Amino acid sequence: MAGFVPSAAESKTLLRPVLAPPFAGVDAVLFDIDDTLVDLATAMTRALRRASEHLLPSMDTAGWEKFGRIFTHETTHYYDRYLAGELTFNEQRLLRGRAALGHFGVELGEGDEAHNWLDVYARLQPTFVRAFEDVLPVLDALDAVGMPYGAISNNVHDYQRAKLDSAGLQRITLLVGTDTVGVPKPDPAIFLEGVRLLGTQAGRTLYVGDNKVVDAVGATTAGLRGVWLNRSAEAADGYKGPEVSSLRQLLA
């Protein structure tokens, strides 16, 4: 161990923990993407409105919020069927759109009408995706001390790569998608692939995500240190693990 001997000032910098005390002993951080790093729910709701407003010309803001909630929160069983291989990505999208439209009494026709709705939605949604304001400060802090990080997502790699890039998150170079190992979260294999790519140990790797079951409990079950990012003050419902309401709370 010859060579580098830090000065007192350098030692202080090197030893100052970047993460808050509950996350001591962590060497690396993995993040979920959708609604953790990027505000997908808002992007979806804006795109849904643009794709659907000709069908619901007199809908008010509260109506569009409800429309968005049906699509983003109340029909996720269709996304689960996509993850299980029972539906294509577009089929689950269309079923969720039909459910939201149906709630307001609109039946989307087959053929061109459905095709056009999907086309407008698919074209606009990525253009509305933004990183949450707490993401860059956390990545800056991790970069400042050289702590590695990456992302694990329940969508395919290339789609999520484009999403991170268009949200200005090109610096997240380590990305594991559902097609990387062939299974989605909460299967331990997808979490452990992230750990393997980081070159860390599972027990010293933090995993942060907005879904308390799939992300926080799933990562913890895989041997990582799962943290639930609860941005909207949801009820814990029996969850007793670590919880933050903003990514900033990860930092010392």
Supply the minimum distance, in Å, between the C-beta of residue 154 and Mg ion.
Answer: 7
Considering the complex, state which of residue 27 and residue 80 has its C-beta at the smaller distance from Mg ion. Answer: 80
Supply the minimum distance, in Å, between the C-beta of residue 96 and Mg ion.
Answer: 16
Q: How far apart are CA 102 and CA 119, in angstroms?
A: 19
C-alpha of 127 from chain center: 17
For helices 76-83 and 89-103, what crossing angle results, to 10°?
170
Considering the complex, state which of residue 101 and residue 190 has its C-beta at the smaller distance from Mg ion. Answer: 190
Considering the complex, state which of residue 36 and residue 200 has its C-beta at the smaller distance from Mg ion. Answer: 36
Question: What are the residues binding Mg ion (CB under 5 A)?
Answer: 32, 34-35, 210
Considering the complex, state which of residue 101 and residue 208 has its C-beta at the smaller distance from Mg ion. Answer: 208
Considering the complex, state which of residue 134 and residue 210 has its C-beta at the smaller distance from Mg ion. Answer: 210
Supply the minimum distance, in Å, between the C-beta of residue 117 and Mg ion.
Answer: 24
Considering the complex, state which of residue 76 and residue 116 has its C-beta at the smaller distance from Mg ion. Answer: 76
Of 193, 231, 190, 194, whose CA–CA distance to 209 is shortest?
231
Supply the minimum distance, in Å, between the C-beta of residue 153 and Mg ion.
Answer: 8
Supply the minimum distance, in Å, between the C-beta of residue 34 and Mg ion.
Answer: 4
Supply the minimum distance, in Å, between the C-beta of residue 94 and Mg ion.
Answer: 21
